[in-house]
Structure 1
Amino acid sequence: MTARAEPDGSFPTFAPTAERAPFWFLGGQARVLLTGAETGNRLALMEFVAPAGHAPPHHVHEDEEEVWFVLDGEVTFFVGDRRHDLAPGQVAHGPRGVPHSYLVRSAQGARIAAVFSPACIEEFFRANGTPVAEAGDMPPEFDLAAVAASAKAFRLSAA
């Protein structure tokens, strides 16, 4: 399948919509910028905004490759037995089947873009997120056991 051009020959752009609104996930904010439905499930693009010290549990994606691009802040990515200390503009790759996590090191927090290929994992994040009611809201409590239990359906597991 190839990308479909618009009638004028340009390729589509995806404007902000309610579907792209931020939501809380594991103490940080996330939003889906490009869905699998928009790419024939080839890839999804998400943005994560996380506070200093934020570190999701070490985990494994059985189906998706993951690429992280640091937009703001300093983040350490742990991929397998390797450590990658990244600053804005730097990229790391998390191959499918390899345990990974990250730690936000900068005091001001960090903003990360993540590409997942193939797509559909964005539905895991949405299913376990809580809508952001208003800017400046504090993240709600989350039930890590419930998030972990829902991960099995998306072939995610603890490392």
Structure 2
Amino acid sequence: MTAPHTAGEPFWFLGGQARVLVPSRATGGSISVMEFTDAAGHAPPLHVHDDEEEVWIVLDGKVTFFVGDQKFDLEPGQAAHGPRGVAHSYLVRSKSARLATVFSPASVEDWFVANGTPVSSVDKAPAAFDIGAIIASAEAYRVRVAGPPPTE
């Protein structure tokens, strides 16, 4: 897959759009900030980041976050925290949702970008992706799948 060349350019990731808002190189690796825009029903597999803390801020839409054995139903302006080492995921409950996600320390953004496909002006649907290849590449970033995507 071909990754975008600069921060801010949108790319497809797991059927939704993502972009890097604040790259790790701008913060000396202390944090990075990404934006994710996903359609109704979108849910990544339950997964664990061994190195990063993660904070999700709902910008638009309704999203349920699953963190360990907790569940948080959030709307715009609300946030949730995913501690490192704790399985987490989310489920979009509205027609679409837009999230800002802060990772600390930074570096996992490189995994998202490396597995993304640039969005073109002619795209009418998300780019196809190989979930097996994405999962296999996650090990290098100390991200591991802990279960299937959550459902209501």
TM-score (norm 2): 0.91
Residue 141 of structure 1 is aligned with which of 102, 120, 128? Answer: 128
Residue 105 of structure 2 is aligned with which of 109, 115, 118? Answer: 118
Cα-Cα RMSD: 1.2
1:153 is matched with 140
User: For structure 1, which segment, 134-143 or 44-53, has the greater mean C-alpha deviation from structure 2 after superposition?
Assistant: 134-143
Secondary structure at the aligned position of 1:92 is classed as strand
Secondary structure at the aligned position of 2:28 is classed as coil
Check conservation: 2:7, 2:22, Cα contact below 8 A: no
Indicate the structure with greater strand content.
2
For 1:137 and 1:125, locate their aligned partners in 2 and report how far apart those are by CA, in whole Å.
21
Query: Unaligned stretches of 5+ in structure 1?
Result: 1-16
Deviations 1:108-150 (A, max 9, x none): x000000000001100000000000116531111110000000
Query: Unaligned stretches of 5+ in structure 2?
Result: 147-152
For 1:136 and 1:110, locate their aligned partners in 2 and report how far apart those are by CA, in whole Å.
19
Secondary structure at the aligned position of 1:20 is classed as coil
User: For structure 1, which segment, 126-135 or 110-119, has the greater mean C-alpha deviation from structure 2 after superposition?
Assistant: 126-135
Deviations 1:37-96 (A, max 9, x none): 000100000000000000000000000000000000000000000000000000000000
**Higher RCO (CA < 8 A, seq sep 6+):** 2
For 1:141 and 1:28, locate their aligned partners in 2 and report how far apart those are by CA, in whole Å.
10
| One-letter amino acid of the structure 2 residue matched with residue 36 of structure 1 | S
For 1:136 and 1:73, locate their aligned partners in 2 and report how far apart those are by CA, in whole Å.
22
Residue 99 of structure 1 is aligned with which of 87, 91, 100? Answer: 87
1:81 is matched with 69
For 1:48 and 1:23, locate their aligned partners in 2 and report how far apart those are by CA, in whole Å.
10
Secondary structure at the aligned position of 1:125 is classed as helix
For 2:124 and 2:56, locate their aligned partners in 1 and report how far apart those are by CA, in whole Å.
26
Q: What is the aligned length?
A: 142
Same amino acid, percent of matched pairs: 62
| One-letter amino acid of the structure 1 residue matched with residue 65 of structure 2 | F
Residue 17 of structure 2 is aligned with which of 19, 26, 29? Answer: 29
For 2:111 and 2:124, locate their aligned partners in 1 and report how far apart those are by CA, in whole Å.
22
User: Are residues 38 and 135 of structure 1, via their aligned partners in 2, closer, same or farther at CA, if it must alter by over 3 Å?
Assistant: farther
Secondary structure at the aligned position of 2:37 is classed as strand
For 2:83 and 2:133, locate their aligned partners in 1 and report how far apart those are by CA, in whole Å.
25
Matched, 1:132 2:122: no
Larger Rg: 1
Secondary structure at the aligned position of 1:158 is classed as strand
| One-letter amino acid of the structure 2 residue matched with residue 49 of structure 1 | T
For 2:35 and 2:55, locate their aligned partners in 1 and report how far apart those are by CA, in whole Å.
12
